[in-house]
Structure 1
Amino acid sequence: MHGVTGKPAATDSTANATPRIMLLLLVAMTGVAPISLYMLVPALPVLATAFGRDISIAQMTVSLYMVGIACSQIIMGPLSDRFGRRPVLLAGLGLMVAASAACIFAETLPQLIAARFLQALGGATGMVVSRAIIRDLYSRDRVGAMISLVIAVMMIAQMLSPLTGGLLETAFGWRSIFYVITAASLAIAVAIAMMLPETRRDRAEAGGFRGDVGSLFKSRAFIGYVLCQVLASQIIFTFAGGGPYVVVTQMGRSSAEYGAWFASTGFAYLIGNLFCVRFAPRHSLEKLIWFGLALQLAGSLLNLLWGVTGLNQAPSWLFGTQMLVMFANAFVMSNSAAGAISIRPEAAGTASGAMGFLQMGLGSLFSQFGAWLGGHFATPVALNLAIVILSIACASTVVFLIPRRTVMISEELIEKAEEEESGLL
């Protein structure tokens, strides 16, 4: 890739020496923030009662946590490019440990909300840095598969986290959730300190943050990959925001039934990531993106068709086609993320941070937009149409912004030659 100025601190051979340990570390650092988010959700009504506040105030322990995740992405990514992956990870997890302990001893709801924001700011370091580490360790066409593998393993734990949080709150009270989070984040920090090598690429040029940002955003390919990944993620946020209103209000079903159906889309996303891992060794990154885009658009068009004809007034039609969209979404998101952080590998942290910040920042807006669509219309057609438009926008970024495969091949050859030359030196 353009801008590769030195040999990575660790190569594929390094990763292959301890693949299971490396995978576990990547999963742990990626999942600690989102798992901590979902563990507290079942306890929100109890928090409101315990502190004598309205449930909307207790909800801020979740909403401001998401703001903290977004802020962390844009801060920690560039710092990891400058100071290294290990020190930034350890500093972020150290902040999470301290903030989680503060949550345990919070006496007021505002104190808990502030501590949760700091918890997210530190914990989300692993989300942004893990993608940079994967790019440090693996070649461009293996990055998407590794991101998918990490997501697939993490999602299993993430889907169980609300259940875990609910059981802890019921048995030991809501503060027990933060005892577990504190212990887990401390254990992850110790494991990283003991087992994770520094993987950041050598930087022969002192471009710094401004230089990295400038070079990235001058690249049409980078902008295309980022927009593709971010727009694909907004499909998830939009559907998650509007889905409850469609199922409960429009279809007259229970919230428990909605929860069961929504879990099916998460399962489809998980399976999509596993299939991406399976197909990645035999297909290029671009082919996997196009496969995902085609299937994603087909699923969203079917969803719209059922809405127009009135068939998806039944949850099975709505979620059946949405499962197809989510399966395809896994291919689009992981491989477009791989493309974005491969444009300038020594600035992978900055690229990962910008992508994560846009994803989470826009996600809060699109979630509200989805809720508005679900709550202000009598049928799911408006929500279906929004997902179709997002799917078309995803494909458009690839068509109009990302260079053809021949250009990407030449860039890969440049990167390979540079790495071989560095190895000889």
Structure 2
Amino acid sequence: MHGVTGKSDAVLISPAPTSKIMLLLLVTMTGVAPISLYMLVPALPVLALSFGRDISIAQMTVSLYMVGLACSQIIMGPLSDRFGRRPVLLAGLGLMIVASAGCIFAESLPQLIAARFFQALGGATGMVVSRAIIRDLYPRERVGAMISLVIAVMMIAQMVSALFGGLLETAFGWRAIFYVITAAALLVAIGIAVALPETRRARDGGPGGGFRGDISGLFGSRAFVGYMLCQVLASQIIFTFAGAGPYIVVTQMGRSSAEYGAWFATTGFAYLIGNLFCVRFAPRHSIEKLIWFGLALQLAGALLNLAWGLAGLNQMPSWLFGTQMLVMVANAFVMSNSAAGAISVRPQAAGTASGAMGFLQMGLGSLFSQFGAYLGGHFASPVPLNIAVVMLSVACAATMVFLVPRGGVVATEELIEQAEEEETGLL
């Protein structure tokens, strides 16, 4: 397959750093924004008390942060295609450093909320650009494995970030969290400035180039729309379950919030395991095969969970979360490989593709988390949530069946590369 073996598929503008350094850079630039999100969560009650405001106002330091994550991706992805990965990354992290310092010296909760929005706007640059860099550096069939590897390593850090934030707040106060975030963002920026080469593919600036050309080329491709929707819909399973979970476990089942937290951690662990399996299997199987394996396992787990719900067994956390762990293992296969497919349809527009996908994922995520909360809080059993997860799993499979052409993705990529080579020859 030319997209894997052809020389133009992995051309770099400058030599790549060693694989260990590159992995570290990708993980840190991807993780700095989400880790900063989770670190503050344990301190929300203290923030409300410190500023004398309601907890719902303090919650806006999280909710508007997520809005910043979504807005950043739709902006920074196209900018990285136009101006390069390095300058956009450094500018975004520079904004995050300044905003994090603003959080330290915030004198009111509205000031802190505004600073958190800009902190997310800058920090999310690493999330969107890291996927584009992976596509710049690796052939199509390795992209899914690399995304899974980065997610797997990052999730280990995310799983302890809330605990670390809680310890910081207890020992030194909530402002200490932002001192650490500022220092971390500064270290990531220095690492990128010193060790990361520019990886963006050279663009000819012709009629098919530029932002408009990228957008029309991407959204005119059934393959891109199919892969993107598959990835986005799969992510909504996570948001929906996370929104409903506290109400189901605490309100319906009468368990403590601490017990809910422990059970919810099992889904994150399952997602981590799924990504590690994806890394192992990716070298021997195509992106499409891995997606279909994940879709089949995801639907099987969702149907099994629905069966437990109809049988009345899901009133115990072990039944509900046991099968949800199976769904999350499968979800890792679907999300990482469909993301790889989406950013590979038009490789020179990988940043724009990554940004559009991230924007939809976060934007819809805020709606589906509210939808999940409604399902958990307005019904007396988990069955409505189980039905929603089944429907989302079916919708993921439908995007692959009806939108992604068989063999069309590789053909599209080959035609792009062939056209670039022919134009280079004419010049």
TM over 0.5, shorter chain: yes
Residue in structure 2 matched with residue 386 of structure 1 by the alignment: 388
Q: Which residue of 1 aligns with 2:283?
A: 281
C-alpha contact (below 8 Å) 2:304/2:323 kept by paired residues: yes
Distance 1:116 1:226 in 2: 28
- Give unmatched runs, 5+ long, in structure 2: none
Give secondary structure in 2 for the equivalent of 1:96: helix
1:46 corresponding residue in structure 2: 46
Alignment of 1:286-297 (within 5 A): 286-297=288-299
Judged with a 3 Å threshold, the aligned counterparts in structure 2 of structure 1 residues 68 and 233 are, in CA distance, closer, same or farther, namely: same
Shift of 1:91: 0.1
Contact 1:276 1:330 in 2 (8 A): yes
Are the counterparts in 1 of residues 223 and 409 from structure 2 also a CA contact under 8 Å?
no
Q: Which amino acid aligns with 2:32?
A: V
Cα distance in 1 for residues equivalent to 2:393 and 2:296 = 9
Q: Distance in 2 between matches of 1:385 and 1:256?
A: 26
Superposed counterparts of 1:238-387, under 5 Å: 238-387=240-389
Shift of 1:278: 0.2
Correspondence for 2:70 = 70
Q: Distance in 2 between matches of 1:154 and 1:91?
A: 22
Paired residue type of 1:316: S
Identity of aligned residues (%): 80
Task: Name the TM-score, length of structure 2 as normaliser.
Answer: 0.95
* Aligned residue type for 1:105: F
Aligned to 1:22: 22
Shift of 1:408: 3.3
Superposed CA deviations along residues 231-290 of structure 1, whole A, max 9, x for unmatched, are 000000000000111111111111111100000000000000000000000000000000
Asked whether the equivalents of residues 7 and 423 of structure 1 are also in contact (C-alpha less than 8 Å), the reply is: no
1:21-51: CA deviations, max 9, x gaps? Answer: 0000000000000000000000000000000
**1:410 corresponds to which residue?**
411
Q: Which residues of 2 match residues 192-207 of structure 1 at below 5 A?
A: 192-206=192-206, 207=209
Aligned to 1:83: 83
Q: Residue type of the partner of 1:179?
A: Y
Q: Secondary structure at the match of 1:32?
A: helix
* C-alpha separation in 2, matches of 1:7 and 1:422: 16
| Equivalences for residues 140-159 of structure 1 within 5 A | 140-159=140-159
Deviating more after overlay: 58-67 vs 206-215: 206-215
Is the CA contact (8 Å cut-off) linking 2:100 and 2:178 kept in structure 1? yes
Deviation at 1:410, TM superposition (A): 3.4
| Conservation of the 8 A alpha-carbon contact between 1:14 and 1:137 | no
Residues 7 and 422 of structure 1 are in contact (CA less than 8 Å); yes or no, is this contact kept in structure 2?
A: no
Tell me if 1:110 matches 2:110. Answer: yes
Q: How far apart are residue 312 of structure 1 and its match?
A: 1.1
Q: Which residue of 2 aligns with 1:121?
A: 121
Q: Which segments of 5 or more consecutive residues in structure 1 lack a partner in the other structure?
A: none
Return the alpha-carbon distance in structure 1 between the equivalents of residues 112 and 388 of structure 2. 36
CA–CA distance in 2 between the matches of 1:160 and 1:422? Answer: 50
What one-letter code is carried by the residue in structure 2 that aligns with 1:155?
A: M
With structure 1 as the length reference, what TM-score do the two structures score?
0.95
Is the contact between residue 245 and residue 375 of structure 1 (CA under 8 Å) also seen in structure 2? yes
Distance in 2 (alpha carbons) for counterparts of 1:117 and 1:35:
15
What is the root-mean-square deviation of aligned Cα atoms in Å?
2.1
Q: 1:415 to 1:140 in 2, by over 3 A?
A: farther
Counterpart amino acid of 2:72?
S
Secondary structure of residue in 2 paired with 1:127: helix
Please list every run of at least 4 consecutive aligned residues from structure 1 whose deviation after the TM superposition is greater than 2 angstroms: 6-9, 406-425
Report the CA distance shift for 1:76/1:412 in structure 2 as closer, same or farther (over 3 A).
Answer: closer
Find the aligned partners of 1:414 and 1:137 in 2 and give their Cα distance.
Answer: 20
